[in-house]
């Protein structure tokens, strides 16, 4: 993993939080976009912070970032981890008590944010 720092409009970007759906959606371009984003972040040496799942667009962006040699940190509430949907190959999985603390942890870990297609949780 490269340790270089990236500058985007004057801000130091080492870590990006991506909010996206736990389903693939109705258009194949959504999955391809998630994979492209994961690849791009890894190639730029930018750490991906996301919801920790192994399903849907979340799984696609994380798996592609990992396959490209990127660092990927998942943040997941214990209740979802108990349902066995956590990605097992992450650089780090942070387990939190609830959705509120998940959102806070993701915000604390990120220098910037990207929202991809998703549901109510992504919109929130």
pLDDT per position as a tens digit, 89-103: 999 999 999 999 999
> Strand, helix or coil at 112?
strand
Question: What was the pLDDT predicted at 8?
Answer: 55
C-alpha radius of gyration, the chain, whole number: 13
In order of start, what are the domains of the chain with their CATH numbers? Answer: 6-123 (3.40.50.450)
Q: What is the pLDDT of residue 1?
A: 44
Indicate the pTM of the whole model: 0.88
pLDDT along the chain (124 residues), means of 10: 54 89 89 96 97 94 98 96 90 96 96 87 73
């Amino acid at each position: 993993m490269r340790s270089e720092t990236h500058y985007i409009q004057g801000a130091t970007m080492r870590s990006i939080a991506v909010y996206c759906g736990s389903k693939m959606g109705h258009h194949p371009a959504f999955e391809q976009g998630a994979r492209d984003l994961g690849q791009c972040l890894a190639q730029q040496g930018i750490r991906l912070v996301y919801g920790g799942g192994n399903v849907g667009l979340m799984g696609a962006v994380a798996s592609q970032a990992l396959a490209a040699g990127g660092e990927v940190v998942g943040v997941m509430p214990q209740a979802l981890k108990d349902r066995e949907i956590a990605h097992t190959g992450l650089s780090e999985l942070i387990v939190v008590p609830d959705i509120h603390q998940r959102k806070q942890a993701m915000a604390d870990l990120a220098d910037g944010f990207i929202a991809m297609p998703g549901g109510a949780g992504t919109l929130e």
